[in-house]
Structure 1
Amino acid sequence: MPISTARPEDGIVVVNVDYPPVNALPSAAWFELAETILAAGADPTTHVVILTASGRGFNAGVDIKEMQATEGFDALVGANLGCAAAFSAVYDCAVPVISAVQGFCVGGGIGLVGNSDVIVAAEGAVFGLPEVDRGALGAATHLARLVPTHMMRTLYFTAQNISAEQLEHFGSVYRVVPAEQLLETALEVARKIAVKDTRVIRAAKAAINNIDPVDVKKSYLLEQRYTYELNLAGVADEHRDAYVETGKPKGER
């Protein structure tokens, strides 16, 4: 199953994503991921959710090839709405969500981890938003939850990645460990949450969300507005076509 759930221990649900080769998700998968996360949190026996992925990397964002192979704007709208749903599901999940990141976490992956409650990462993992190289915008909202403002702007405008080790320095990644210890490290954190009174933890999650200084859902929708403008102007298609054809940003050789 591309998106699966497991209960390795009482109170702990692991949601795993497996879309080879790089976990770039088609539109429908973003909605499925959202439903899976929300359903896990809605179960009163769930105390904490761990979000993981199989393969080379945690998440490579949307499936650009699906978008370019579809006539009209249905795939674009579906991808944007699906991402919004998945990001919101992590945020709105009734219990804490721990993201366990290996390899790369780019594009839509930033939206998932940026809305997570805890992030653990494997050594050498990288995080980034290549959106401007794809003629799109989005998830600056979530990147801003991981790094200081000026670093966010630098990473966004240059489409550069940042390492898990750097994010640990900023305090947004809780721990960086060898890849073979990643799941166990996530479980260690999950156990510390799972043993607590879930009624209190659920109230705490709601309280923390309600004191957030930025409404992450509204700010992401504002970012999407500019993505739609770039698509209507034909700019985004130029960049996505170049990437599908060459695997590189437009203008890069």
Structure 2
Amino acid sequence: MSLSSPEFDNYKLSRTACPVLVYQSSSRISSPSTKMSSSKFATPPPPANEHILTTFPKPSILLVTINRPKDLNCMNGPMHQYLHDLFSWFDNEPSLLCGIMTGTGRAFCAGADLKEWNSSHDTTDKPQKRTMTSSGFGGLSRRTGKKPIICAVNGICFGGGCEMIINADIVIADSKAVFGLPEVKIGVVALAGALTRLVRTVGKQRAMEMALTGRTLPAEEAREWGLVNKVMKGDVLDEAMKMAESICANSPDSVIVSREGVKLGWEGVGAEEGTRLLAENWYSRIDGGENMKEGVRSFVEKRKPRWVPSKL
């Protein structure tokens, strides 16, 4: 959908904390409220953030819901730090294997809190230094980690929100969701990791079009370009949950190592070099381990495997 097309009438300039193009959709998403006592974990999760809901709806699954709907789930500095800490904790928590991130209201995430960003220019420190962590926007856009995170995109996904999904492992989008990197329209640049990763995902020409025009992509076009795995009509979180459960039914060790292998290739390591690194650094650590033995044994005995938490 071109910003100069007739469909542009469906958009307006938001006057919230982050002024971006907003699609007028009534799409909403609710989050499960199931919580797990911190005593169930090896270490307690980070202290809560007022704009992030953290729940554990199913065994082995972490659900993160951005809950700042009046501001289209724009991210401020404390939210970046919290998500960085949360995903670091998630990677080291043995009982968890897959994460899901979604949003409340009409947006998944419409980008940075530009009011905060603008006011930060009144100080001497660089804004990026004060509001961003090494894992990037929302703890996700430059995250390496070792466990998969699924983005359930319920609506507007612009700027930093789009940077997050580009580095996510799997993306499920509502049919009314919209994607874009509109930074060029307001004189900034998508420096949280999206640009170099985008070209590997969609190719040079499409990446150039997206980055230089700042145009908006509807969900189906984003799927055709390879940014989105599936497009759903209204049940995006349910589908993400099914995907997470499917992942969690497998060996935790195999999931972690398989993900690492795919990421090595995506990050530009040559096929043979990536295979060598995977075998030397990862496969040797699971060869003969409890889950490998259990997987083979359960197959021979024709029963479901009983996995143990990964020690990787």
Give the secondary-structure state (helix, strand or coil) at the position aligned to 1:144: helix
Query: Which residue of structure 1 aligns with residue 254 of structure 2?
Result: 200
Query: Which residue of structure 1 aligns with residue 156 of structure 2?
Result: 104
Q: 2:233 aligns with which of 178, 186, 192?
A: 178
Structure 2: which 5+ runs fail to align?
Answer: 1-49, 270-312
Distance 1:37 1:175 in 2: 24
Matched, 1:45 2:100: no
Post-superposition offset of 1:98: 0.4
Q: 2:59 aligns with which of 1, 4, 10?
A: 10
* Most deviating of 187-196 and 79-88: 79-88
Going from structure 1 to structure 2, the CA distance change for 1:162 and 1:183 (only over 3 Å counts) comes to: same
Query: Which residue of structure 1 aligns with residue 304 of structure 2?
Result: none
One-letter code of the match for 1:60?
A
Query: Which residue of structure 1 aligns with residue 171 of structure 2?
Result: 119
Which structure has greater helix proportion? 1
Post-superposition offset of 1:134: 1.9
One-letter code of the match for 1:9?
K
Going from structure 1 to structure 2, the CA distance change for 1:143 and 1:213 (only over 3 Å counts) comes to: closer
* Most deviating of 74-83 and 166-175: 74-83
Distance 2:180 2:152 in 1: 16
Query: Which residue of structure 1 aligns with residue 130 of structure 2?
Result: 78
One-letter code of the match for 2:123?
G
Distance 1:192 1:119 in 2: 15
Q: Which of structures 1 and 2 has the bigger CA Rg?
A: 2
Contact 2:176–2:219 at 8 Å: present in 1 too?
yes
Post-superposition offset of 1:93: 2.7
One-letter code of the match for 2:59?
D
CA displacement, residues 128-162 of structure 1 (integer Å, 9 cap, x when unaligned): 01111121112222433542321111121111011
Distance 1:65 1:82 in 2: 22
Distance 2:217 2:59 in 1: 35
Contact 2:150–2:170 at 8 Å: present in 1 too?
yes
Q: 1:154 aligns with which of 209, 215, 229?
A: 209
Give the secondary-structure state (helix, strand or coil) at the position aligned to 1:154: helix
Give the secondary-structure state (helix, strand or coil) at the position aligned to 1:196: coil
Contact 1:41–1:48 at 8 Å: present in 2 too?
no
One-letter code of the match for 1:7?
F
Distance 1:176 1:162 in 2: 13
One-letter code of the match for 1:182?
V
Q: Size of the alignment, in residue pairs?
A: 214
Distance 1:133 1:73 in 2: 25
Post-superposition offset of 1:171: 3.4
Distance 1:200 1:151 in 2: 33
Distance 2:231 2:107 in 1: 15
Distance 1:164 1:141 in 2: 21
Distance 2:114 2:258 in 1: 37
One-letter code of the match for 2:103?
A
Distance 1:115 1:45 in 2: 23
Q: Which aligned runs of 4 or more in structure 1 are off by greater than 4 angstroms?
A: 80-83, 87-90
Going from structure 1 to structure 2, the CA distance change for 1:81 and 1:12 (only over 3 Å counts) comes to: closer
Give the secondary-structure state (helix, strand or coil) at the position aligned to 1:166: helix
Going from structure 1 to structure 2, the CA distance change for 1:201 and 1:82 (only over 3 Å counts) comes to: closer
Post-superposition offset of 1:178: 1.4
Query: Which residue of structure 1 aligns with residue 81 of structure 2?
Result: 31
Q: 1:136 aligns with which of 188, 194, 198?
A: 188
Distance 2:63 2:130 in 1: 26
